[in-house]
Amino acid sequence: MPKVSYEHEQAVRNRIIDASIKVFGQLGYDRASIQDVVRESGLSVGAVYTYFKGKEDLFLTACACEAERETERLRLELAGIGALPERLKAAVDWAVDMAMEELSTKGAMIHAWARADTTPELQTMLKQRREESVTFARRLLDEAAGAGELPAWIDRDALASAFMTLTNGFVLANSGAMDPRQARREAYSLLELLLAAPAELPAAVEAIRVGATG
């Protein structure tokens, strides 16, 4: 029997994952079945179980891969942008689009949030995903501060974390109409304040910081 190449194995595995993202996104975890993934992928049940232990393993992998692909898309997009305002705007657009998709049925991640309370593995994955998003945002702010594009006094750790939290909040507030324009408008208002920050730490901001730590 000829040996199956690593490339072929990865291609089959990715085909299963792509099918899983679509199936879980459309049906949710409870309604979806391995057989649905088999039909969508065009592969056999045996092929699916060659790479995955079962539905939960497949679901966890699909969610993780979906999130990783979105982050990689942002990395590639930012690599071609020079000016800070445009880089920040692209990051905002990405965060809003990602959150909007998670509130729709386009991908598996919305169902991950729905099951997180009962699945420790999902809780860990979602926590890790948020930490990765915050780290990515912090890196973007660090690079801007290092290049003199942002004032050094800005608390970049807190800002990166708060921004990811607030972006999800903007989307949730508009989830009834699912209007990304309003979500972006609210998120852009934070960028306007950030880009208008003075070079030196204002006394009022210093007073707020003292109060927060006092």
For residue 42, the SS3 value is coil
Interval 159-209: pLDDT, tens: 999 888 877 676 666 555 557 777 788 888 888 999 999 999 888 888 888
pLDDT number for residue 45: 95
Counting Cα atoms < 13 Å in the Cβ hemisphere of 77 gives 16
Buried b (16+ CB within 10 A) or exposed e, 73-97: ebeeebeeeeebeebbbbbbbbbbb
Q: Is residue 34 assigned to a domain?
A: yes
pLDDT number for residue 156: 94
Taking the C-alpha atoms of residue 85 and residue 87, their distance in angstroms, rounded to an integer, is 5
Amino acid at 168: N
Q: What is the token pair recorded at 168?
A: 């999800």
Q: What is the token pair recorded at 181?
A: 């324009």
Q: Is residue 124 assigned to a domain?
A: yes
pLDDT number for residue 117: 72
Residue length of the chain: 214
Q: How confident is the model at residue 109 (pLDDT cuts 50, 70, 90)?
A: low
Q: Is residue 1 assigned to a domain?
A: no
Range of the domain at 43: 6-213
User: What is the domain count for the chain?
Assistant: 1
Count of C-beta atoms within a 10 Å radius of residue 45: 11
Q: Is residue 52 assigned to a domain?
A: yes
Interval 55-72: pLDDT, tens: 989 988 988 888 788 778
Query: 4 Cβ partners below 8 Å, 6+ apart?
Result: none
Q: Who has greater pLDDT, 50 or 127?
A: 50
Q: Alpha carbon of 172 to those of 82, 85, 90, 159, 209: distances in Å? A: 31, 25, 20, 20, 29
Helices 120-146, 84-103: inter-axial angle, 10-degree rounding: 170
pLDDT at residue 125 is higher than 80: no
Closest CA to 59 of 23, 13, 105, 15: 23
Interval 138-154: pLDDT, tens: 988 998 999 899 999 99
pLDDT number for residue 154: 93
Taking the C-alpha atoms of residue 46 and residue 114, their distance in angstroms, rounded to an integer, is 29
Q: What is the token pair recorded at 87?
A: 């880089």
Q: How confident is the model at residue 1 (pLDDT cuts 50, 70, 90)?
A: very low
Closest CA to 198 of 145, 151, 148: 151
Interval 128-142: pLDDT, tens: 778 888 888 898 899
Global confidence as pTM: 0.67
Q: What is the token pair recorded at 150?
A: 């942002």
For residue 105, the SS3 value is coil
Looking up residue 105, the CATH number of its domain turns out to be: 1.10.357.10
pLDDT at residue 2 is higher than 50: yes
